[in-house]
Each structure stands twice: as C-alpha cells, then as structure tokens.
Amino acid sequence: MTGNDASQSLCAQIRDAYEARRALRIEGNGSKAFYGRATTGESLDVTTHCGIVRYEPTELVVTARAGTPVADIEAALAEHGQMLAFEPPSFAAAATIGGAVASGLGGPRRPWGGAPRDLLLGTSLIDGQGRRLRFGGEVMKNVAGYDVSRLMAGALGTLGVLLEVSIKVLPAPAVERSLVLSLNRDRALHLMRELARQPAPLSAACHVEDRLYVRLSGNASSVAAWEKQIGGDGGAGSDFWRALRDHRLPFFDNPRPLWRLSLAPATPRLDCEHEVLTDWAGAQRWVYTRCAAAELRAEVAKSEGHAILFRHGNDEMSVFHPLDPVRARIHRGLKQRFDPAGILNPGRMYDEI
C-alpha cells in the first residue's frame, strides 16, 4: 500500500502548539472549509498523512490515513465491488476521508446506508496535548470501553486530529435504477413515507421543484419488480445523485443562507420552509427562508429536530443549533479533557468548543 506516514510530525506540531498555547486550524483539502464557524489559528495540514493502510475485501473493512482522498478509497473499493455506504459528500475536488468523518455528513443513501458514525469502527487520533490515542478497531462488534471513535464523527476536529479511520464497507448493489415522478411536495412526502414503510430496495428519495427522485439498489429482479410498482420515468441517472450529494443542483446555486434541517421525516412542511429541497425521504431538508434565524430554530425545535446554518451565514449568526445548559456543560467538559488548552479548531462548532 502506498502513501505517507506523517503522524510523528503532526504529533510534534500539536505538542509544540499545546506548549505555546497556540491555536491550530486543521486542514485537509478544504472542500468543507465553509462549514462551521470561522476558526483562527495556524494551519495544520493533514493531507501529507495519507494512503490506504489496510484493505481486505473479505473482512469488509478499510483502514486509511486521514489525508487520503475519498476518491482513492472509492476507487480501491470499486475494484472489489464494494463501496462507502454513507456516500460521502465532497462539495469540491479531493475531499479527504478525515474530513468526511470529521464533518459527519452523509449523502443521499444515509437513511439506508448510515452516516459516517454508523460505519466507523475505529480511529487513531492525536489529542490536544499531542498524544496519540487509539479507540475501537477493525471489527464490527466491539463494546470494550466508551465509543470514542463515533464521538469523533461530526466533532469537526475539535476533540482531536484524526490520524487513521477504520470503516466498515459494504458490497455495492448489483443494479441501480433511478425514477422520476412529477409530484408536488406534499404528495411526494406522502409517497416517500409510504415507500419507506415497505420492504422496497430504496437507497435514496429526494424531492425538488415538483419532482420526486427515487433510487432503487439491489439485485436485478428485486429492482425491476419495484420499478414496475412505483412507475415514473427512468430519466435521472447517477449524475443526479452525485449532483445532489455535492450540492451542484441548480437549487444550491443561490447566495442566500442555506439551512440544513434534521427532522422526523414525516414532519409536514414547516412555515419557515420557504424554498425547500427534501432529501432522505423527508428527514433532511435544505431550506432558504425568509424567517429570522431564531424563528426558524424555534419552529424546528418544536418538532424535536435541529437546524444548521450550512452555508452563506455571516459572523452574527450561529451555525449549529444551540444546546441546553446540561449538554453545553458536557460539551465543554469533553472539550476540556480532549483539548485542555483549547487549541484544536477552537470555536468551529460552538463558542469555546
């Protein structure tokens, strides 16, 4: 396996920064640099720590250094008919696997294939004192110790710098078919929920601009049977799902603040969902709104969901949904234990975190 092990140099840089109490901005290839709150600090480049460390198709696990491009991993898996089931968004070229895990984001397959946290089996990381720690492993069932690996997924590097990740991989489906139906939002949401309740081989369901897009993945006979049952046109191919995953659809070509809403999937349209793309069969909604941020958040909270100001916010607007005092205290406590000097991506998630 090729690549480069830069872990010693990364540890040394973090130790130095810890001793000097100097903030670090963890950087891969910057494909998600827009995501989260602005953070200051010296750049810590993790792209030089790269390469697939182990990949054994019959064990269904790949272990890679954090700076490895996702595309390289996907290419290696494809040779053996396997895939990263969380369908990581890239947003720009050369997204790294470390960034994919740290951001915690899943693509269109997420409700059926899982998020990074679902597939993550183990990590090795550097904490805020420059210590190298290892949690989890390369096996699917492992309940020894707290699940620190999964805690890292979505923590945006604020608890540690990922060095290596071990990820469960799955066989790629033999056949994929995409269907398009002309339906308004309410009827589309209803149909998405109907389908999700049935044993259909769904792998994506998205509604935008009066069209419902459905993807079926599985073996030929099962996909064909459900294709017939659902109907619609076979117009959209895999390009649509890649464009959705990476926010390259026309819907996203808009300079206004873009909100990501995470909701119980059958939640009816909220008053603040003025323009909406509904993904994940209803559970993830991309929204442009005329509501004030507080108004939107209150409406989402009433439905027991949360809202993230995903893109095009400004410095006055908080990005992530505010936490109640008890969880905020737990967040600060964890940050303090993993990064006592507060030098890793400080403030990227919340103030002080």
Partner 1 sequence: MSEANRSARREALAKRLRSVVDGPHVLSTNAELAPYECDGLAAYRVVPLLVVLPGSVEEVQAVLRICHEERAVVVARGAGTGLSGGALPHEDGVLLSLARLNRILAIDPDNGCARVQPGVRNLAISEAARPHGLYYAPDPSSQIACTIGGNVAENAGGVHCLKYGLTVNNLLAVDLVTVEGELITLGGSGLDGAGYDLLALATGSEGMLGVVVEVMVKLLPIPQRAQVALAAFTEVETAGQAVADIIAAGILPAGLEMMDNPSIRAAEDFVHAGYPTGAAAILLCEVDGGNEEVSEDIARVRQRLLDSGASEVRTASDDLERARFWAGRKAAFPAVGRISPDYYCMDGTIPRKHLPHVLREIARYSTDSGLRVANVFHAGDGNLHPLILYDANNPGELELAEEVGGRILELCVEVGGTITGEHGVGLEKINQMCAQFPPEELQMFHDIKAVFDEHGLLNPGKAIPTLNRCAEFGAMHVKAGDLRFPHLERF
Binders of partner 1 among 8-37, rule CB under 8 A? none
Is residue 115 within the footprint of partner 1 (CB under 8 A)?
yes
Return d(Cα 46, Cα 68) in angstroms, integer.
9
Give min distance, CB of 268 to partner 1, in A: 10
Judged by beta carbon, residue 25 or residue 331, the one nearer partner 1 is 331
Residues from 118 through 137 that contact partner 1 (CB under 8 A): 118, 127, 131, 133-135, 137
Is residue 108 within the footprint of partner 1 (CB under 8 A)?
no
Give min distance, CB of 304 to partner 1, in A: 4
**In degrees rounded to 5, what are phi and psi of residue 81?**
70, 30
**Which of 116, 122, 67 has the alpha carbon at shortest distance from 95?**
67
Is residue 306 within the footprint of partner 1 (CB under 8 A)?
yes
Contact track, partner 1, 44-83, x by CB under 8 A: ------------xxxxxx------------------xxx-
Interface segment toward partner 1; rule CB under 8 A; list 7-15, 24-32, 88-96, 316-324: 316-324
Is residue 228 within the footprint of partner 1 (CB under 8 A)?
no
Is residue 242 within the footprint of partner 1 (CB under 8 A)?
no
Judged by beta carbon, residue 97 or residue 202, the one nearer partner 1 is 202
| Helix residue ranges per DSSP H, the chain | 7-20, 70-78, 97-103, 110-113, 116-119, 148-152, 185-196, 220-230, 238-245, 293-302, 325-338
Residues from 152 through 211 that contact partner 1 (CB under 8 A): 153-155, 159, 170-172, 174, 193, 196-201
Query: What token pair was written down for 8?
Result: 């010693």
Judged by beta carbon, residue 44 or residue 192, the one nearer partner 1 is 192
Is residue 309 within the footprint of partner 1 (CB under 8 A)?
no
- Hey, what long-range contacts does 182-188 have (CB within 8 A, 24 or more apart)? 182/210, 182/211, 182/212, 183/207, 183/210, 183/211, 183/212, 184/210, 185/210, 185/269, 185/276, 185/278, 186/268, 186/269, 188/212, 188/278
Residues from 248 through 267 that contact partner 1 (CB under 8 A): 261-267
**In degrees rounded to 5, what are phi and psi of residue 169?**
-115, 160
* Number of residues engaging partner 1 in binding (CB under 8 A): 90
Give min distance, CB of 338 to partner 1, in A: 8
Q: Would you call 137 exposed, middle or buried from its count of C-beta atoms within 10 A (0-12, 13-18, 19+)?
A: middle
